[in-house]
Amino acid sequence: MTKEEAKKRIDKLIKQVDDLRYRYHVLDDPQASDAVYDSLQRELAELEKQFPELKRDDSPLHRVGGKPLDKFIKVRHEVRQWSFNDAFSKQEMYDWQERISKMLTASFGPKVKPEYVCELKIDGLHIVFTYQRGLLVQAATRGDGLVGEDVTQNIKTIQSVPLRLKKEVDVIVEGEVWLSEKQLAAINKKRQQCALAEFANPRNAAAGTIRQLDPKVVAERRLDCFVYDWSGGKTKGPDSQLEELKALAELGFKVNDHYRLCQNLEEVVAFHESWATKKSSQPYWIDGVVVKINSLKMQQALGYVGKAPRWAIAYKFPAQEVTTVIDDIQVQVGRLGTLTPVAHLRPVKLAGTIVKRATLHNEDQIRKLGVKIGDTVVIRKAGEIIPEVVSVLPKLRSGKERNFTMPKKCPECGFAVIKKESAETGGGRSVDWYCTNRHCFAQQQRRIIHFVSKKAFNIEGLGEKIVSQLMEEGLLKTPADIFKLQQDDLTPLERFAEKSAANLILAIEQAKEISLARFVYALGIEHVGEETAIDLAQFYGNLDRLTKATSIELTSIPDIGPAVAKSIEAWFADKNNKLLLEELRNNGVKIEAEKIKSSAGKLKGQKIAVTGTLSALGRDEAKTKIRQAGGDWVNSVSKNTDYVVVGDNPGSKFAKAKSLGLKIIKEEEFLELLK
């Protein structure tokens, strides 16, 4: 066979094998036996061996051809990844509808009637896929929404994921990798035989599989994948969620076909209720229904808040509930000194895991539920994650149950406890009790554990037990001490051999370079979670600017209110915290500056508000461009606002801007300013 003949044959073989793969794994319509499929792949392998220069990037033989990796590489997402807010009842869904209706009316007028697309919420692992000219070039985990891990080699082993699309498009799509219960049973049976711990549920198994460094192990476990979102790329997507799902299927993706277009919320509720009773009929886990506004124009007008889109919500099924007995209630001290009562339970299986503890939140919640030690209680996993006590079954009481009272002193250090003033209660006392000793061992321990956690410095090998051990040995007092540790400090200690000590020191060294957003989150500032840390990093760009921020300036950042702003300002003004920042820098911590927000530009120092719908830019894109030009995006209009940009169907900001005599510009002028 000549080289030209071999090329033609290889092209035809790849096309034929891919067609059989698509029919079997996507359409569930097998057209040939496994023997035929294997025979075609063997012929292809022989030709690739004979003509290695003719190997194609989309060859099906690449699916399990990679060598085991040493580690996963971090990659920055081109499109930021979001998560959905949850609703657990009809009332919460109607509350969501009421919130977005006001915004849609302001943008599109009183006659606006949004349609909703309902999709099954598959309980798996979120993956972001990037295709260039139709070829899969990268697959990454969600990570913190900005940075994930490159798992392309493992994703290529999933037969329902196309290596090449049916059209040469540049797209970024999102989907859910999942494992069937049948496959889980087979995997656990094999793990039993090897005396390995079994996976608790399909989601854990899918996540654990994608984290395997050897793609051959991943291939053996037969993961599957549904794609549901066209989120970016140079190729423009459709104008509605419904058309988006159809377009994704036409490109060759496996799209879950149990979706529905609903004209109103009553139809949404009916769809949700129907699947609540038949969710176990599918081979994958379903934990709810994702409800999205169908129109992409409306989605852009609604935008995002915090970590989630306003235009979508996860309407969860009722959490799985079980009964058990509270053997004891103990108080846990958090990193901010908060005292949280925790129920210690008789172990019980819930949603695939063994639960031994559940939160009781605070003293008021205990009083409201009427919980006593020894009670039989109903527990559930809120959002399928955090176990909580829902109710008490008082008819099962024996008379031996005991009342619980919150301690008057910290159970860890013995200092007095107080209730602070709370902005959420209008200046009244908070519902939580706090330890008054800022040097409390438990608080310091929790601060350091938070500091090294996955979303912060992510120091592998520095878990809760090791942190406690190092603190008890006097090696750790503050987070800055972590970066002074030497191998010789660790090797004499219990649990540390020479290799484990060396591994931990290496992990600490590798963690010294960190993004500004992760660093701010690691500091554990009250009210500053992951999303707020990202917003602060994008707004200020570097730590020095952030440390000088005033509470007034901070409230100009979207989604940062007075209580959060005051907390941030107070943290950076504290002399102990200033000393901590100085020690971290002296110990080699390097904080990467954010490049999203420019400190100089045509709009430097200008406060800009937008009202109505812009035809050329979505809200988030407009925010980013304003910040890149040095300006400040503001949600509300005041006398300090420099520009009010008016799009189609402007809201009340337009009228207020006119009454204040502010500078009002149209979209065309705004785009000129951004150039």
| Model confidence pTM above 0.95 | no
Predicted confidence at residue 66, as pLDDT, reads 59
What digits encode the pLDDT tens for the residues 59-83?
Answer: 877 776 556 777 889 899 999 898 8
Predicted confidence at residue 424, as pLDDT, reads 44
Question: Mean pLDDT across the stretch 284-298?
Answer: 94
Lowest mean pLDDT among 238-242, 282-286, 568-572, 670-674: 670-674
Q: How far apart are CA 97 and CA 313, in angstroms?
A: 10
Strand partners, 187: none
Encode 164-233 in three state secondary structure: ECCCCCCEEEEEEEECCHHHHHHHHHHHHHCCCCCCCCHHHHHHHHHCCCCHHHHHHCCCEEEEEEEEEC
Q: How far is CA 309 from the centre of its chain?
A: 12
Q: In terms of Cα–Cα distance, which of 137, 162, 118 is closest to 15?
A: 162
Quick check: 93 and 315 in contact, CB under 8 A?
Answer: yes
Predicted confidence at residue 669, as pLDDT, reads 86
What digits encode the pLDDT tens for the residues 322-357?
Answer: 899 999 999 999 999 999 999 999 998 886 678 899
Lowest mean pLDDT among 399-413, 501-515, 617-631: 617-631
Positive or negative, the Cα torsion across 590, 531, 236, 246?
A: positive
Question: Mean pLDDT across the stretch 138-156?
Answer: 91
Residue pointed to by tokens 């204040």: 660
% of the chain surpassing 90 pLDDT: 52
Question: Mean pLDDT across the stretch 569-576?
Answer: 94
Is 423 a residue whose pLDDT tops 50? Answer: no
Predicted confidence at residue 192, as pLDDT, reads 80
Is 400 a residue whose pLDDT tops 80? Answer: yes
Q: How far apart are CA 233 and CA 137, in angstroms?
A: 12
Question: Mean pLDDT across the stretch 604-631?
Answer: 76
What digits encode the pLDDT tens for the residues 452-468?
Answer: 998 899 998 898 899 99
Whole-angstrom distance between the N-terminal and C-terminal Cα of the chain? 58
Predicted confidence at residue 346, as pLDDT, reads 94
What digits encode the pLDDT tens for the residues 154-205?
Answer: 999 999 999 999 999 999 999 999 999 889 988 888 888 887 777 777 888 8
Positive or negative, the Cα torsion across 354, 145, 528, 463?
A: positive
Pairing of strands 607-611, 590-592: unpaired
Predicted confidence at residue 108, as pLDDT, reads 92
Helix pair 34-50, 3-21: axis angle to 10 deg? 150
Is 34 a residue whose pLDDT tops 70? Answer: no
Concatenate the DSSP letters of all residues of 469-532 into one string: HHHHTTS-SSGGGGGG--HHHHTTSTT--HHHHHHHHHHHHHTTEEEHHHHHHHTT-TT--HHH
Please say if 190 is a catalytic residue. no
Residue pointed to by tokens 């009340």: 652
Q: How many CB atoms lie under 10 A from the CB of residue 429?
A: 12
Which H helix or E strand runs over 449?
helix 441-451
pLDDT tier for residue 596 given thresholds of 50, 70 and 90: low
Question: Mean pLDDT across the stretch 130-139?
Answer: 95
Is 426 a residue whose pLDDT tops 50? Answer: no
- Selecting among 71, 90, 111, 121, the annotated active-site residue is 121
pLDDT tier for residue 439 given thresholds of 50, 70 and 90: confident
Helices (H), 574-647: 575-586, 619-628
Predicted confidence at residue 169, as pLDDT, reads 95
Residue pointed to by tokens 């049916």: 166
Helices (H), 279-360: 296-302
Positive or negative, the Cα torsion across 630, 635, 641, 643?
A: positive
Predicted confidence at residue 234, as pLDDT, reads 93
Predicted confidence at residue 425, as pLDDT, reads 40
Predicted confidence at residue 14, as pLDDT, reads 85
Predicted confidence at residue 199, as pLDDT, reads 78
Is 427 a residue whose pLDDT tops 60? Answer: no
Q: In terms of Cα–Cα distance, which of 46, 28, 33 is closest to 159?
A: 28
Three-state SS for 25? helix
Residue predicted with more confidence, 134 or 69: 134
Structure tokens at 250: 């036409």
Three-state SS for 96? helix
Structure tokens at 246: 């159809």
Average model confidence (pLDDT) across the chain: 87
Q: How many CA atoms lie within 13 A of 585 on its CB side?
A: 9
Residue 133 Rama label (left phi>0; alpha psi -120 to 50; beta): left
